[in-house]
Amino acid sequence: MTATTPGTTGDVSTTTKPSPSSADTRQQTVPGVFGPIPVDMVPDADRAHPLTATVPFKPGRWYWRDLIASLDPVTDAAEIHRITAAYEFPWDYQRALELALYRTYCVPSVSAVLAGAGNFREAPQQRYDDTALLMAELVEHGVDSTRGKESLRVINRQHAMYDITNDDMLYVLSTFIYEPLEWIDANGWRRLHPNERLAAFHFYRGVGQRMNIADIPEDMSEFRRWRDAYEARVFRYADTNNEIGNYTLDLMCAWYSQPVRPLVRKAVQSLIDDDMARAFGFPAPAPRVRGAAYSAIRMRSRIIRWFPVRRKAYGTEGTENRTYPGYPTGYRPADLGAHPITPRDRMTGGGCPVPHAMAADGSGGGAPEGEVA
């Protein structure tokens, strides 16, 4: 894929795409870095999320929490989770999800797939940014939005290329639910409302269902028990754990100047628990060092508690992304990933957006499991 100069999202053009019946259909687009983007994929938060479009002139510090308390944690799960992650705890959610992903590398079968794929070795920053942005797309726009559906197609496309067990997929999903909840209750500027906890569960359960993950528990407590039992059964040291763990540590250190990188490495290692340290083969941090690290995080939260209510969502624009400058302006989810998909609207002859290997008899192969062709 060859990058072109990104245009501005304010310039609307019209492209023509042949339909199977040979009749031309016209679709409004805006210029993008890798190709035109349909106007219905250009984010418009005020239109998509009327609940957060306007905030009172002088809202109380508990404005968002009180709004969340008035919503239903099942039917309004996506909106509640978006407010929690993008308005109330954006920094905490980003740090907790980083630790959640780091935790999954303690499972030898997971780290073996990652080591075999080679992305952490060859392009660790892009791999990190792809994951962060795709998850932020789902939270910001919802799983059933145009951008959400395309994000899920990209995610499913990446996973379909590797032999990943359902239990490993289920475990990774569980970390996205429980790691942020536990982090915020322990370190956040306030404790979570029960609706926020339930909404996170139902939101990610919906994500898992759309990824074709089987046997997702219907009860939040049951899923947590399953996660704990799975960790007790599979957490153990493996060379691939150590490899992926060190690649990730090196990446995080690279974000800072050379003189402070040893301190950054110690700080990150101080945030992991003893089970993770053993699985990675890292030295267990001294209790004094771990206590100091978490004390600093809680001190930050005590300061944040006195900040005014956040009026602008901290979504994809706020993700610490170094691979796609200006994201989401000029981009769409199909542009992300180690193996990007080609959307139908960018194909000159129609057809399927997923490249198909040819079978021995010359027939095309089927789409990867979970992929919408």
What's the pLDDT tens digit per position in 340-370? 777 777 766 555 545 544 333 333 333 343 3
Phi, psi of 358, rounded to the nearest 5 degrees: -85, 135
Torsion, Cα of 318, 321, 322, 323 (10° steps):
-130
Instruction: Tell me the average pLDDT of the chain.
Output: 86
Is 80 exceeded by the pLDDT of residue 17?
A: no
Q: What is the pLDDT of residue 47?
A: 76
Q: Name which of 95-99, 109-113, 204-208, 284-288 the model is least confident about.
A: 284-288
Q: What is the pLDDT of residue 352?
A: 52
Max Cα-Cα span within the chain? 71
Q: How many CB atoms lie within 10 A of CB 72?
A: 13
The whole-angstrom separation of Cα 268 and Cα 253 is 9
For 148-171, write each residue's pLDDT tens digit.
Answer: 999 999 999 989 889 999 999 999
Give residue 142's Cα distance to chain centre.
12
Beta bridge partners of 17: 25
Which is more confidently placed, 111 or 372? 111
Measured between alpha carbons, how far is residue 8 from residues 141, 229, 328 in Å? 21, 50, 12
Q: What is the pLDDT of residue 373?
A: 34
For 227-267, write each residue's pLDDT tens digit.
Answer: 999 999 999 999 999 999 999 999 999 999 999 999 999 99
Q: Are 152 and 143 in contact (CB under 8 A)?
A: yes
Percent of the chain with pLDDT over 90: 68
Q: What angle do CA 129, 330, 336 make, to 5 degrees?
A: 30
| Average pLDDT rounded to a whole number, residues 81-90 | 96
Torsion over CA: 50, 98, 241, 243 (sign): positive
Is 70 exceeded by the pLDDT of residue 332?
A: yes
Q: What is the DSSP letter of 73?
A: T
Burial 338-371 (b: 16+ CB within 10 A, else e): eebbbbebbeeeeeebbeeeeeeeeeeeebbebb
Percent of the chain with pLDDT over 70: 85
Q: What is the DSSP letter of 38?
A: E
| Average pLDDT rounded to a whole number, residues 279-300 | 94
List strands edge to edge, sheet with 24-30: 13-18, 24-30, 37-38
Work out the pLDDT band at 26, boundaries 50, 70, 90: low
Phi, psi of 51, rounded to the nearest 5 degrees: -60, -30
Q: What is the pLDDT of residue 364?
A: 36
Is 60 exceeded by the pLDDT of residue 92?
A: yes
Straight-line distance from the first to the last Cα atom of the chain, in angstroms, rounded to the nearest whole number: 20
Which is more confidently placed, 184 or 21? 184
For 56-79, write each residue's pLDDT tens digit.
Answer: 988 999 999 999 999 999 999 999
Is 50 exceeded by the pLDDT of residue 320?
A: yes
Is 60 exceeded by the pLDDT of residue 208?
A: yes
Query: 296: part of which helix (H) or strand (E)?
Result: helix 287-304
Q: What is the pLDDT of residue 349?
A: 52
Beta bridge partners of 13: 29
pTM of the predicted protein model: 0.84
